[in-house]
Chains A and B, each alone.
Chain A
Amino acid sequence: MSTLSEQILGAPAGEYVDREVDLAFAHDGTGILAREALRDMGVERLPHPERIRLIFDHIVPANTGTTATLQAELRGYARSTGIELTDAGGGICHQVMSEGPVRPGMVVVGADSHSCTLGAFGAFATGVGATDMAAIWASGSTWFRVPETIAVRLSGTLTGAAEPKDVALTYVSRLGMEGATYRALEFVGSGAAGISMDGRLTLCNMAVETGAKTGMFYADSTTVRYLEEYGVSVEPWIPEDCRYEREIDIDLSGIVPLVALQHRVDNVREVEEVAGTHLDQVFVGTCTNGRYEDLARFAGIVRGKRVAVRTLVVPASRAVLARAIATGVLADIVDAGCMVAPPGCGPCLGAHMGVLGEGEVCLSTANRNFKNRMGVGGEIYIASASTAAASALAGEIAVPEVA
């Protein structure tokens, strides 16, 4: 009678375990640091290069000579060690890992805090620092403290223009930014089955915003069907009765479009309360909401109209981009007057392209609105793709219409 984390890690909450890591990935930023740590550690040979992935997403394509040189070095390292590299343009690390590599029951570690996204498959997925990552590459394993679990019990179905992102903002505001520190979140209940894989990835992505180590769904028929599309066959995972440290209930049918106000993700209001707030930029993308369903929802609202504010759309991966091209979603987005940038993190981290100026206000579909994140003096509102679409058309924060 164990939680999903306890089953995968094989020990009760609170214990320390040493576990083989099935997949260990890093991006262009943390990959460089892990490479340096390996050099300090004197490690030459990696026992399991096939379990490692490097994915360039943070600053792609490179913005300066320095970035380009560091990326070239890491590219060379991947080649010489046999590590599989997804180069610039392939997509955001968490999204690329969600397109086939991650399976239910795996232990997955990423050198990025949003690695919890991949718990959507019923894997134990969490983020670590670059030095930890280096040791994992060097040994193939690492230690974990098995987390206690908070259940987020979902019931009902989403209605109107409410999206999984609004559910994410709901639990983040209910738990608070430290409310689940060190815990795992398990999304359970009758409402879980109705949430798509893209939606589950959004929900698990924001677990870390409550301090959680990971967020997880049990693999079910939705998971099985999703992975089948990538040629991967897996079995559903039957939940055991277990005791949670705490439970919160969310009725999906009562959710309305929400927005997180600067500078805290748990500072959540109904969109209606801040409707009319002037915007300088709208950004649709990131590991939270740059997936195909997000782009399709956004396109469904802007189709045949013109955006009234600078709007940047960044698909989360090349596969997302390709599908948006094939279905005409991308043409709708471009025809509405939006800019489209290559797959990757885009302006999310404020490193290049789409950086905000002093006093500028952005509505973003990302996961963090910390002070100065997208540029010094910029303000960030966090919301769903539908809210982003309605707001882009209005040039100010606006409540999305029911589709």
Chain B
Amino acid sequence: MQGEGPAICLGDDVDTDQIIAGRYLRTKDRSVWAAHLLEDLDPTLAGRARGAVIVAGRNMGCGSSREQAVVALREAGVVAVVAPSFARIFFRNAINVGLPVIEAPVLPCTDGVHVAFDLDARWVEVDGERYPVRPLLEKMVAILRAGGLVPYWRSGR
């Protein structure tokens, strides 16, 4: 599985409240979540998210277990999230909704630089420099490829 896009750089400990604030959870309209993605951190971010790869710091997605956080990222068109470490439930939720999450070393990041990844070949490339990523299981990649856990099962695995 491969992908690429311009980088959006985030720091350490971005929690799910920052990803999608609690005040937007009353709706079930996913486009609302996408429109307000990471709004409190950077109001311009949602507008740049489509086709981008998020390069985050440690403990990405910590905080509450709200599944809306990964749905918001996916609906906003984020291609993948790369980070040195993820909060456990965020990581599981991301795979389950088909959002690639990639564990890599701490990467140098400047907004807009080109990021590419190949999960089968196990690398991520930032601004022309290649880094190793922690290999996912084949099953996890298959779930991602299907677009998440529910479609993975619907398609007969």
Contacts and interface: CB of A to CB of B under 8 A. Distances in A.
B153 A138 contact: yes
A129 B150 contact: no
A134 B154 CA distance: 13
A45 to B, nearest CB: 12
Contacts of A16: 134-137, 140
A129 B62 contact: no
Contact of A42 (B62, B67, B91, B153): B153
A131 B140 contact: no
A241 interface: no
Contacts of A178: 62
A143 interface: yes
Task: With a 10 A CB-CB cut-off, give which of A128, A138, A182 has the most chain B CB atoms.
Answer: A182
A143 B65 contact: no
B59 interface: yes
Contacts of B136: 16
Contacts of A131: 96, 149-150
Interface in A113-164: 128-129, 131-132, 134-135, 138, 143, 145
B153 A41 contact: yes
A178 B88 CA distance: 12
A138 B136 CA distance: 21
B18 interface: no
A43 interface: yes
A213 B88 contact: yes
A240 interface: no
Interface string A252-286: 00000000000000000000000000000000000
A181 interface: yes
A132 B87 contact: no
B93 interface: yes
A357 interface: no
B121 interface: no
A251 interface: no
5 contacts: A41-B153, A41-B154, A129-B92, A143-B137, A145-B91
Interface of B: 59, 62, 65, 67, 85, 87-89, 91-93, 96, 134-137, 139-140, 149-150, 153-154
- Per CB-CB distance, the 6 closest pairs between chain A and chain B, nearest first, are A41-B153, A182-B88, A16-B137, A42-B154, A40-B150, A41-B150
